[in-house]
Amino acid sequence: MDDEQKSRQELIEELARLRRRMVELEAAEAKSREAEAALRESNERGRAIAQAAVDAIISVNVEDKIIFWNRAASEMFGYTEDEILGKPVTALIPPRYRAAHSAGVRRFRETRKPVLIGRTAELLGLRKGGIEFPLELSLSTWTARGETYFTGIIRDISDRKEAERALAERTEELESLVQTVAHDLKSPVVGIAGLVRLLKKSVSELPPEEKRDEILEQLLTTSSNMEDFLKDLLDGLRPDPVEPSREPVCLREAAEQVVSLYRSRIGERGFEFKVLCETVIPPVQADKHRIAQALDNLVGNAVKHMGNRPDPTIAIELRDNSDSVLVLVSDNGVGIPPQYWKRVFDRFFRIKKSNLDGGSGLGLSIVKRIIEGHGGRIWVESEEGKGATFCFTIPKGAAPTASLHEQ
């Protein structure tokens, strides 16, 4: 082979090599295009999933700037994607928590120890326009090209929190109802026990039949009051509560009844009970049992907070006051200092916490509710050391009665 032939052969071989290389390169390029398309497809799929999610999905870079924001995030926080991308995530955090948030991000950058990652936390978010709302956040972190990113999945839990609040309120109402019931059943139960003791004593001492009849009559009244109270209570506990009863009530009769029960129970301890009224008192439209309950509580208080008087006297006075009847329950006991005149009506408030009378401080709050439920007012006047007078009004006409269960 001469030189010319040799170089021609080499040229042909070089060309063939180049062609092979070109085919290889074309195949590689096709592969890379495919990979790029697959990557784009996967990105789009991820984005579509994120966009369709009901929870807000937000990603931030290490500078705490928002780099991804889905549709649910727009709905939840009120910013469009264009408005929020590139903005610091603190725009979504109430101002008072921003410093703590920034400290957390700084700590993560320095220590790489995440506090929130992998947990769900309940926090407060800030909508565009400055309205705060409770949210639940699950946070994850990821790294790409040496950079760290965070992605939060956020759920608006306003409805759940509202339901929890309503449940807590209902539980509190029920607790208060149970306390009220226990409190108001105590007095008639104590009354019945007292009357039975009296009856037992009078049977052994063979007193006149008249006295026994009177005691039996009172036993009957007290237990039937209790029965009515339980009936009202059960009515009120039904989902569609029956309207509290309204009937003409003679306050004088109600006062006489309460006073006569106390006379039987503790008259022999030297207590004097009086019912005073100068004029005829017209009937009021009211709930008879609730009114009796209020009077019973006030007279019970006068007895309980009498102190050591040689002449303990308790009076219920009734006055006709054009539109309403004014009732004054007074005693000559220890009295109430002026700074407590309002507070004695608060639930669980007692002036002397250490006395051993077993009071729970609920009675006057119940009385206040009953009176105000009838559209009346209640207050106390007192001269310390000389006694107290509890005054209340009951309008003569029908006024809305708050049931025992409405607080």
Ligand X SMILES: Nc1ncnc2c1ncn2[C@@H]1O[C@H](COP(=O)(O)OP(=O)(O)OP(=O)(O)O)[C@@H](O)[C@H]1O
Binding stretches for Mg ion (CB under 5 A): 301, 363
Q: What tokens does 147 get? A: 């950079």
With CB under 5 to 8 Å by kind, the binding choice for 333 among Mg ion, ligand X, none is ligand X
Least gap, CB of 302 to ligand X (angstroms):
4
Which one of 68, 133, 349, 379 is in contact with ligand X (CB under 6 A)?
A: 349
DSSP H/E element including 27: helix 3-52
Which one of 157, 351, 391, 399 is in contact with ligand X (CB under 6 A)?
A: 351
As a whole number of angstroms, the distance between CA 285 and CA 52 comes to 62
If the CB atoms of residues 108 and 390 are measured against ligand X, the closer one turns out to be 390
Count Cβ neighbours within 10 Å for each residue of 354-392 and write b for 16 or more, e otherwise.
Answer: eeeeebebbbbbbbbbbbbbbbbebebebeeeebbbbbb
Q: What tokens does 26 get? A: 């074309």
If the CB atoms of residues 183 and 252 are measured against ligand X, the closer one turns out to be 183
Q: Is 183 in the site for ligand X (CB under 6 A)?
A: yes
Q: Which residues, 281 to 310, sit near ligand X by CB under 6 A?
A: 301-302, 304-305
Q: Is 362 in the site for ligand X (CB under 6 A)?
A: yes
Q: Is 94 in the site for ligand X (CB under 6 A)?
A: no
Q: Is 364 in the site for ligand X (CB under 6 A)?
A: yes
If the CB atoms of residues 57 and 367 are measured against ligand X, the closer one turns out to be 367
Q: Which residues pair with 314 in a beta bridge?
A: 273, 331
Biggest alpha carbon–alpha carbon distance for the chain: 160
Q: Is 336 in the site for ligand X (CB under 6 A)?
A: yes
DSSP H/E element including 95: helix 95-111
Least gap, CB of 309 to ligand X (angstroms):
11
With CB under 5 to 8 Å by kind, the binding choice for 318 among ligand X, Mg ion, none is none
If the CB atoms of residues 43 and 355 are measured against Mg ion, the closer one turns out to be 355
The CA angle 145-150-156, to the nearest 5 degrees, is: 155
Which one of 88, 104, 361, 395 is in contact with ligand X (CB under 6 A)?
A: 361
Q: Is 359 in the site for ligand X (CB under 6 A)?
A: yes
Which one of 363, 373, 375, 376 is in contact with ligand X (CB under 6 A)?
A: 363
Task: Report which residue type is found at 193.
Answer: A
Nearest to 338 by CA among 393, 380, 366: 380
Q: Is 333 in the site for ligand X (CB under 6 A)?
A: yes
As a whole number of angstroms, the distance between CA 93 and CA 103 comes to 14
As a whole number of angstroms, the distance between CA 345 and CA 353 comes to 15
With CB under 5 to 8 Å by kind, the binding choice for 57 among ligand X, Mg ion, none is none
Residue in this structure with the two tokens 């309207």, named with its chain if needed? 243
Q: Which residues pair with 155 in a beta bridge?
A: 136
As a whole number of angstroms, the distance between CA 260 and CA 109 comes to 80
If the CB atoms of residues 224 and 360 are measured against ligand X, the closer one turns out to be 360
Least gap, CB of 336 to Mg ion (angstroms):
12
Residue in this structure with the two tokens 């009953």, named with its chain if needed? 370
Q: Is 379 in the site for ligand X (CB under 6 A)?
A: no
The 312-331 contact track toward ligand X, x by CB under 6 A, reads -------------------x
Total residues interacting with ligand X, rule: CB under 6 A: 23
Q: How many CB atoms lie within 10 A of CB 329?
A: 24
Q: Is 288 helix (H, G, I), strand (E, B) or coil?
A: helix
The interface region with ligand X, picked from 109-117, 205-213, 363-371, 391-399 by CB under 6 A, is: 363-371
Least gap, CB of 281 to ligand X (angstroms):
23
- Yes or no: say if 109 and 128 are a contact pair by the CB < 8 Å rule: no
With CB under 5 to 8 Å by kind, the binding choice for 78 among Mg ion, ligand X, none is none
Chain residue whose CB lies nearest ligand X: 363
Q: What tokens does 240 get? A: 């569609």
With CB under 5 to 8 Å by kind, the binding choice for 133 among Mg ion, ligand X, none is none
Alpha helices in 245-381 (DSSP H): 251-266, 288-304, 363-373
Residue in this structure with the two tokens 């309120």, named with its chain if needed? 169
The interface region with ligand X, picked from 13-21, 87-95, 163-171, 352-360 by CB under 6 A, is: 352-360
Q: Which parts of this chain interact with ligand X (CB under 6 A)?
A: 183, 301-302, 304-305, 331, 333-336, 344, 349-352, 359-365, 388
